[in-house]
Each structure stands twice: as C-alpha cells, then as structure tokens.
C-alpha cells in the first residue's frame, strides 16, 4: 500500500478531528517519505507516515486515533508511526505543512531532513530524497552547509553521511 499526498492530508485532517473530539489537539513533525511527498512533491507516494509526536504524553492517544483511521480505511495500523526516532538527533521544526482543526503538522528543518537521509542512506529512495533536498541548498557554501547538517547526524553515522554528502554534492553540481 502507498499513500499519496491527498490521502496523507485527508488522514491527518481526520486525525485532527478525532483529537479535537477528545479535547486533545495534537502536534506532529512529519519526516521521511511523507515529508518528501507533502513538502516537495518529490515523489508521488510513500508507504507510511513517519511522525514525531511533539507532546510525548499524547503518544498513546495519537496511536489509538491513528489505529481508528486505519481500521476505517483498511490500512495497516502502523500507517502513522514513530519508527524514525532512531534517526532523529534533536528536533528542529520548520514550516507548518498542515494546520487543521485539532492538528498542526510541522516539517523538520531542511538541514535535519537532509541529515536524516544521509544518516539512513539505505537505498535509492534515500539517495533520491537526499539529492532533492541538497538541490534546494546548493546555492550555499559547501562547508557551511555541512556545518548546518552535522549537528543533526545520528551518532555513529557521521563518516558514512560525510561520504554520502560528498558524492551528492558532486551530483548536484553536475
């Protein structure tokens, strides 16, 4: 199953409506593929919505509400998940991607998004996403850009990420 921009947006709005009925508005930071779909139209769809719940005490409620939506739509119950926590080093909320009753959805800063892709560096999707993000930033000085990315790298991935960054920098300037 893949979720396109319209399906993601509608599901997040429904999540907000359910949260509002509970009197518990929620804030999320969307990363990964869903971020690339919502913020950049960089790809048509993604398998799931990777999100960080910005108020951890609401995590149980958010998971319950997301499961309700999954059951209604026939989606996997983990369509909205926080599995990205292992790729987050700090939190740097960027622009608001969705502001709807009961929910506000943020993007990470572009530097953090790029750092996450460089830290993960699992497949062609990560590479393509990282290249797309880097192309948004190539007007910057390479060394200064690296210094903006570095604080968000997952510890232990710094060397891999730096090699990936160097390769991408060459590709983005070709």
Tens of pLDDT along 134-170?
Answer: 999 988 999 999 999 999 999 999 999 999 999 999 9
Write the pLDDT tens digit of every residue in 97-124. 999 999 999 999 999 999 999 998 887 8
C-alpha span between 106 and 92 (Å, rounded): 10
Q: By C-alpha distance, which of 116, 147, 150, 120 is closest to 133?
A: 116
Q: Of all residues in the chain, what percent carry a pLDDT higher than 70?
A: 99
Mean pLDDT for the chain overall: 94
Report pLDDT for 89: 81
Report pLDDT for 108: 96
Would you say 73 and 137 are in contact if contact means Cβ atoms under 8 Å apart? Answer: no
Q: Structure pTM?
A: 0.92
Mean pLDDT of 88-92: 85
Write the pLDDT tens digit of every residue in 3-42. 999 999 999 999 999 999 999 999 999 999 999 999 999 9
Q: Which residues contact 47 (CB under 8 A, 6 or more apart)?
A: 1, 2, 3, 33
């Amino acid at each position: 199953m893949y979720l396109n921009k319209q399906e993601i947006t509608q599901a997040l709005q429904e999540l907000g409506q359910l949260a509002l009925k509970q009197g518990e508005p929620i804030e999320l930071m969307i990363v990964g593929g869903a971020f690339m779909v919502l913020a950049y139209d960089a790809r048509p769809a993604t398998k799931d919505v990777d999100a960080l719940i910005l108020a951890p005490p609401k995590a149980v409620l958010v998971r319950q509400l997301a499961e309700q939506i999954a059951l209604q739509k026939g989606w996997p119950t983990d369509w909205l998940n926080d599995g990205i926590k292992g790729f987050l080093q700090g939190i740097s909320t960027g622009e608001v991607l969705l502001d709807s009753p009961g929910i506000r959805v943020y993007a990470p800063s572009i530097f953090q998004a790029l750092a996450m892709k460089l830290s993960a560096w699992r497949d062609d999707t990560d590479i393509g996403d990282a290249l797309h993000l880097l192309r948004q930033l190539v007007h910057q000085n390479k060394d200064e850009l690296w210094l903006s990315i570095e604080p968000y790298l997952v510890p232990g991935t710094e060397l891999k990420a730096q090699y990936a960054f160097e390769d991408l920098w060459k590709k983005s300037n070709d």
